[in-house]
Amino acid sequence: MIGEVLEQEKIYVIKIGGSILDCDESLKAFAKQIQQLHSSGVFVVIIHGGGNDISHMLKRLGIESKFEKGLRITDSQTIEVVEMVLSGKNNKRIVSELQLKKLSAVGICGKDHNLIQCKKKASDGQDLGFVGEICSIDTSIIRLLLSNNIVPIISPIGADETGLSYNINADTAASAIASSLKARKLIYITDVDGIYMDFKNKKSVIPSITPAYGNFLINDGIVSEGMIPKVKNCINALYTGIESVHIINGTIKNILEQLELNLPVGTTFYPITNSAKTPTSISGR
């Protein structure tokens, strides 16, 4: 019954990272925007990262940060710090800010109620340690919170079948959770204006992308490095029935309000059947 009611309403899954968490004022402004969305009848689910805070804590503890193809190599020492920072410090900062805006918020991680079941991520050559690959999502705890008008704040720490903790890419976790919830929108809040045709030209933001065009951008090398998994997650979410996926700049004032008013902000991914028009960037290709 809970699921049936929520599926008829607006569920937005919002992923935030350093553009919000690295600045107290940005977090306060974000919390205010969530309050406005919530008061308009939107059910909001927040998934967060926190890579910079993890790196800072590791440095304080004398542990070197190592990466392989954009993924943090997470040994037994590092996973303890990752879990402490994400599920502890960062998660509760967000909860506190939302509650200061008179919202009910509960912080959980992927281990709670078996929300994110995972396994060790396979890799070519380099052992990534406790980096997880999602096996299954159980959103019943999220639905329970939403049905009680509570905003879930989720850190992307999953567990395998033996209970071991794994660090999950927050973008991937957000896409998987949004898909399982059948959310209306998946929103990635970043520190860039969207997907660029030419990253050096900040006016070259691509306003709308279909799955086919997204794959073209990857294969043609226009989207590269850290943006590749984000674009793939956007495309995968569309295939599960999400109406639209957005990449927007969290440093822009009232960006979520602008998005809700259908103003042209960031890059929007649409299924081809939902796209109002073919992106102008495709013309002639």
Q: Give me the residue spans of the domains in the chain.
A: 1-9+45-89+104-178
| List of residues 6+ apart from 215 with CB closer than 8 A | 235
The per-residue pLDDT for range 123-163, each reduced to its tens digit, is: 777 889 999 999 999 999 999 999 999 999 999 999 999 99
pLDDT top residue among 175 and 229: 175
3 state SS of 241: coil
Instruction: In whole angstroms, give the CA distance from residue 137 to residue 220.
Output: 32
pTM for this one? 0.92
The model's pLDDT over 211-259, given as tens digits with 9 standing for 90+, comes to 999 999 999 999 987 788 899 999 999 999 999 999 999 999 999 999 9
> What is the percent of the chain where pLDDT is above 90?
80
Q: What is the pLDDT of residues 43-65, one digit of tens each?
A: 999 999 998 999 999 999 999 99
**Are 82 and 95 a contacting pair, CB within 8 Å?**
no
Domain 1-9+45-89+104-178 -> CATH class: alpha beta
> In this predicted structure, what is the pLDDT of residue 9?
64
Measured distance CA(107)–CA(12) in Å, rounded: 17
On the question of pLDDT at 29 being above 80, the answer is yes
| Per-residue confidence band for 1, with pLDDT thresholds at 50, 70 and 90 | very low
DSSP-based three-state secondary structure for 118? strand
